[in-house]
Structure 1
Amino acid sequence: MDRLTNGTGTRAFEALVYTPYQHVTWHWRTLPPPPPPPPGVEFAANDPTRIASFAAAAGDDSNKIWVSATGSGDVKGCTHLFDAEKLAWCKEERADWVLPFYGCAQYVPQLNKLWFGISSREHGCLLCASDLSGASKTQPPSLHTALEDTAARAPDGFELVTARAIYLGSGKFCLARFFAPPMRISLYEDKEPEQFAVMAGVQVILIPSSHGGKSVAMVERNSQRYVFNEDETYWVL
């Protein structure tokens, strides 16, 4: 399930569905857009259907998806619940909290049954983990662990534009980060400013905890820097 541009310049919430009775068995089906957020809450600037973070639930609620919208100023964000079986939003389940992630979070049952993704910007856009199993309309989830890798730090003269965590299985993640000069600097440069992406491979493992049981830890693998000089790049992965 993804949120894609539908070709008309507007956004659409869509699902990739399988229908064996049609000539094209796999196709995109437009779903109902998220309910309007409360006053002061935005899904994104100039794009009321863009979502800030989302995660599929697990267990008995594995057919549902948490979708968060961010607030602005003193107004807190909110989270909606989408029922993938009924293809409808659970309007009565709107919660006055947001997921502790930036973008998509992936449930990894082998790693203490935690959800992993990129943390919010105020937490540094790091690989992080959270337990969403107890989340409800009145009970927000909390950030469980933030794991910092050396590739997370922006070099001097650059700032982080966006980041993604792609789960590869067996506790391995590819962390993709896109860096560019601050806008106030690049506007005054004669040549095209350098923009680049850093792909970092990490592995999350379980280690003995001082409180008993096991906790998560990160092992850094290889990383690679990709420079974009001519083409304007909006997304990495």
Structure 2
Amino acid sequence: MDQDGNTLLCEASSRAIGVMPSPHKHKLSPISLVVGDTLYLLDSVPGADCAHSVEALKYSADRWFEHKWYWHSLPPPPFGSDYDHEVVEKEEEEEEDMRCPNRYGFQVYTVVGDSQVWISTEGGGTYSFDTANNMWSKAGKWALPFNGPVKYAPEHGLWFGFSSQGENGQFAASDLTAASTARPPVLKKVWDELAQPLPEWWVPMESYLHPLGASKFCIVRTFETPEEGWCWEKDGNMYNNVESFAVFTGVEVERGRRGALRMIKHKIK
């Protein structure tokens, strides 16, 4: 899917590419999650209009006169029910019809169990969306102790991601099933080996975690290295030369004799 919502499906077995229907609405900052056999698309910054901020890509063999794949709109997150009215009134003065303020945007998200999507907001706690009945509920007033997407590793029964603590975000693990409405999840293990001080000219941009199965992960970090000084274009505009690059790190997580988690760091490229 490109920035305009144009969607393609790649059939890996036949090496065929087909045009797919576009979502009902363009997402300002989209994230995607797979729960069961359904792909869910959410806007992490819903904005003023929450309609179509959550959609699911579904398939129906009975749709003879339309595309058999279609987008189904689902209820938006219930952030509005948890507003502090004084804060909302102040925000509405600044921007009219602000039903979903950006302070309730989210960047931390994961799948829990067979049917739940969890998202952590910046100012309203953690919410759960049950894909079995398409209903939202509040998991707790706490936030998940991660940044970005969190991945479940069934071989350990734990969720892995980048810790919200520290500047560079350490690789960490947590048991989200141990959380309750009143008790937030805690990190069971944090590895500092991958959060070493960076050269001062390396500017960290994004971090990604890709599970490879069998307790193996690929950690991808992107950086920029601005060159000193400014350059001039022919039209007189100035720009700063920036080199962008990614660092790939392979890691493996295993348990010791007493069940303690241990990380094995492999190749860095």
Q: Say whether the 8 Å CA contact 2:171–2:191 is kept in structure 1.
A: yes
Please tell me the residue identity of whatever aligns with 2:215.
G
Please tell me the residue identity of whatever aligns with 2:132.
E
The aligned residue for residue 74 of structure 1 is none
Q: Is 1:198 the counterpart of 2:247 in the alignment?
A: yes
Task: String of CA shifts for 1:5-26, please: whole Å, max 9, x gaps.
Answer: 6564644333333333336444
Q: Say whether the 8 Å CA contact 1:178–1:198 is kept in structure 2.
A: yes
Task: String of CA shifts for 1:85-128, please: whole Å, max 9, x gaps.
Answer: 112212xx3521011111221222312x1111122253632221
Please tell me the residue identity of whatever aligns with 1:201.
G
Task: Give how far 1:220 is off.
Answer: 1.1
> What pairs up with 1:86-101 in 2 under 5 angstroms?
86-90=133-137, 93-101=138-146
The aligned residue for residue 60 of structure 2 is 19
The aligned residue for residue 84 of structure 1 is 131
Q: Is 1:53 the counterpart of 2:108 in the alignment?
A: yes
- Which has the larger Rg? 2
Task: Give how far 1:150 is off.
Answer: 4.3
The change in CA–CA distance for 1:139 and 1:169 in structure 2 (over 3 A counts) is same
The change in CA–CA distance for 1:64 and 1:150 in structure 2 (over 3 A counts) is closer
Task: String of CA shifts for 1:152-183, please: whole Å, max 9, x gaps.
Answer: 643321222111111110011010111124xx
Distance 2:54 2:107 in 1: 13
Report 1 or 2 for greater relative contact order, CA contacts < 8 Å, sequence distance ≥ 6.
1
Number of aligned residue pairs: give it. Answer: 199
Please tell me the residue identity of whatever aligns with 1:21.
D
Q: Which runs of 5+ in 2 are unaligned?
A: 6-22, 29-42, 44-52, 89-100, 232-239
Task: String of CA shifts for 1:52-90, please: whole Å, max 9, x gaps.
Answer: 2112222xxx3112210124xxxxx51111111112212
Please tell me the residue identity of whatever aligns with 1:199.
F
Distance 1:170 1:9 in 2: 34
The change in CA–CA distance for 1:97 and 1:151 in structure 2 (over 3 A counts) is closer
Distance 1:48 1:171 in 2: 35
Q: Which runs of 5+ in 1 are unaligned?
A: 72-76, 225-237
- Percent identity reads 30
Q: Secondary structure at the match of 2:199?
A: coil
